[in-house]
C-alpha cells in the first residue's frame, strides 16, 4: 500500500481510511460482488478499491499516485467540470463515495447523486461517507495537531446532517424507505446506504 492514502499528512489518515473502507465493505452483500463496483473520488491512492473483493472494480478521481494498478479500471475525472458520469445506465451493482461529497459544491453533489442513481442497477447500493457537520470544529482541531490531513479538511465545502443527506438523495429519486443514515467513527462521520 502507498504511504499516503489521502492528500496531505495526518497520523490517523490510514486508520480512518481503513475504517471507512470497512464500513462500506460490510454493507456489500455477496450476491452483488459478482458484478461491477465504482468508487467515485477513489482517491490519490485507491485504497478501498485495492482492498475490496469484487469482480470488476472502477474508480474515478482527478489525480492518481500511479496511473495503472492491476485489476482496477481507473479514469481521471473532474467532478466540477463534468455533468455526466462516463457510464451507461444501470452499469454498476455498487457505487461508493467515501469522504468525497464534502469536497464538492452542493450543486455538484446533487448532480453526482443523480448520476449515481442513473448508473446504479436495480437492487444496487450507493454507499456514502461524509464528516458529520457538527464535528467540523473538532476535525479542524485534529488537523492543527496533525492527526488528520489539513489539506483534506481545509477543502470542505459542505457540512452534512442526517436530514440534508436524506433530502439530497430523495431529490434524485432514491426512496425514503431504502435510505439508511447513521453515525460512525466515534460519531464524527455519517454513513449512508441507499438502495435502488
**Domain CATH number, residue 76:** 3.40.50.150
Alpha-carbon span 29 to 54, nearest angstrom: 11
- Measured N-to-C along each axis, helices 162-170 and 106-119 cross at an angle, to the nearest 10 degrees, of 50
With cell 453526482, the residue in question is 112
Q: Is residue 2 part of a domain?
A: no
C-alpha cell of residue 99:
469522504
Q: Is residue 73 part of a domain?
A: yes
Q: Is residue 1 part of a domain?
A: no
pLDDT of residue 2: 44
Q: Is residue 5 part of a domain?
A: no
Q: Is residue 7 part of a domain?
A: no
pLDDT of residue 3: 45
- Interval 157-173 mean pLDDT: 90
Q: Is residue 4 part of a domain?
A: no
Using 50, 70 and 90 to split pLDDT, how confident is the model at 185? confident
Domain limits for position 61 = 13-195
pLDDT of residue 69: 82
pLDDT at residue 9 tops 80: no
pTM: 0.86
pLDDT at residue 145 tops 60: yes
Q: Which residue has the higher pLDDT, 109 or 3?
A: 109
Q: Is residue 6 part of a domain?
A: no
Parallel/antiparallel/unpaired status of strands 72-76 and 92-98? unpaired
* Residue among 96, 98, 117 nearest 168 (CA): 117
195, HSE (Cβ side, Cα atoms, 13 Å): 8
Q: Is residue 142 part of a domain?
A: yes
* pLDDT tens per residue across span 48-90: 999 999 999 999 998 887 667 888 999 999 988 778 999 999 9
Q: How many CB atoms lie within 10 A of CB 91?
A: 19
Number of domains in the chain: 1
C-alpha cell of residue 87:
457510464
Q: Which residue has the higher pLDDT, 143 or 71?
A: 71
Which region among 2-16, 26-40, 119-133 has the lowest average model confidence (pLDDT)? Answer: 2-16
Helix, strand, coil shares of the chain, percent, nearest 5, are: 35, 25, 40
Amino acid at each position: 500500500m502507498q504511504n499516503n492514502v489521502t492528500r496531505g499528512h495526518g497520523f490517523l489518515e490510514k486508520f480512518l481510511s481503513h475504517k471507512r473502507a470497512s464500513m462500506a465493505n460490510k454493507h456489500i452483500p455477496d450476491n452483488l460482488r459478482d458484478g461491477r463496483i465504482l468508487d467515485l473520488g477513489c482517491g490519490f491512492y485507491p485504497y478501498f478499491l485495492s482492498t475490496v473483493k469484487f469482480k470488476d472494480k472502477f474508480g474515478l478521481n482527478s489525480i492518481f499516485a500511479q496511473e495503472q494498478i492491476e485489476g482496477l479500471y481507473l479514469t481521471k475525472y473532474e467532478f466540477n467540470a463534468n455533468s455526466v458520469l462516463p457510464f451507461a445506465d444501470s452499469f454498476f451493482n455498487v457505487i461508493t463515495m467515501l469522504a468525497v461529497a464534502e469536497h464538492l459544491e452542493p450543486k455538484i453533489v446533487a448532480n453526482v447523486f443523480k448520476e449515481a442513481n442513473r448508473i446504479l442497477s436495480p437492487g444496487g447500493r450507493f454507499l456514502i461517507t461524509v464528516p458529520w457537520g457538527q464535528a467540523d470544529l473538532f476535525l479542524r482541531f485534529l488537523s492543527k495537531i496533525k492527526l488528520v490531513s489539513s489539506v483534506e479538511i481545509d477543502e470542505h465545502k459542505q457540512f452534512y446532517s442526517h436530514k440534508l443527506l436524506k433530502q439530497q438523495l430523495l431529490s434524485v429519486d432514491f426512496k425514503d424507505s431504502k435510505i439508511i443514515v447513521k453515525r460512525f467513527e466515534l460519531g464524527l462521520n455519517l454513513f449512508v446506504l441507499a438502495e435502488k
